[in-house]
Amino acid sequence: MNRIFTLFLGIFAYCSAHAQVEVVSLAKLEAVLSSSTDTVHVINFWATWCKPCIEELPYFEEAHSFYASSNVRILLVSLDMSSELERTLLPFIKKKKLQSEIVLLNEPDPNAWIDKIEPSWTGSLPATIIFNGTSKKRLFFERQITKEELFSTIQQMKE
């Protein structure tokens, strides 16, 4: 009995953890990037091993809760290796209690897809794109973003 209970618990934990992170391909991201709604999209590229990424995560979390009821979507795109999903990414999300939407981009050959996301991106992390699909305003940061920059850019894109 105990075993079955443990098994159920295991399956439950597995499913609920999985619900947090979708493994996506480039096509999914391109669909988000080509959105034409007036939602302000904040797309942050990060990884659990990237120290400056982790330092700025709280700002995205704060923006996520601050703008919860407005047209702002925060999307954290993890570039952790897909083999690290169970071992590293999910435990990290749990430990940090991250609430923003998180996906794991599983695409080989960055040379083939970096330019499709942002031509000026050289490939270093962190990197953040903030855009409004209606006004076509778009800003790209290939560096750590400050909290002020994040909030003022979102605000500017909303107007």
The site for another protein (CB under 8 A) is made up of 47, 49-52, 79, 81-83, 108-112, 114-115, 121-126, 142-143
Query: What's the CA gap between 131 and 42, in Å, rounded?
Result: 7
If phi over 0 gives left and psi between -120 and 50 gives alpha, with beta otherwise, what is residue 158? alpha
Please identify, using beta-carbon distances, which residue of 40 and 105 lies nearer to another protein. Answer: 105
Q: Do the beta carbons of residue 107 and residue 26 sit within 8 Å?
A: yes
Which residue lies nearer to another protein by CB, 34 or 122? Answer: 122
Q: Who contacts 116 (Cβ-Cβ below 8 Å, separation ≥6)?
A: 26, 30
| Token pair for 1 | 């009995």
> Minimum distance between the CB of residue 117 and another protein, rounded to whole angstroms?
10
> Least separation, in Å, of the C-beta of 12 and another protein?
29
User: Which CB, 76 or 79, lies closer to another protein?
Assistant: 79
Least separation, in Å, of the C-beta of 28 and another protein? 17
CA dist., res. 158 & res. 72, Å (int): 8
Query: Shortest Cβ distance from residue 125 to another protein (Å)?
Result: 6
Nearer to another protein, 22 or 115 (CB): 115
Cα gap 79→118, rounded to integer Å: 15
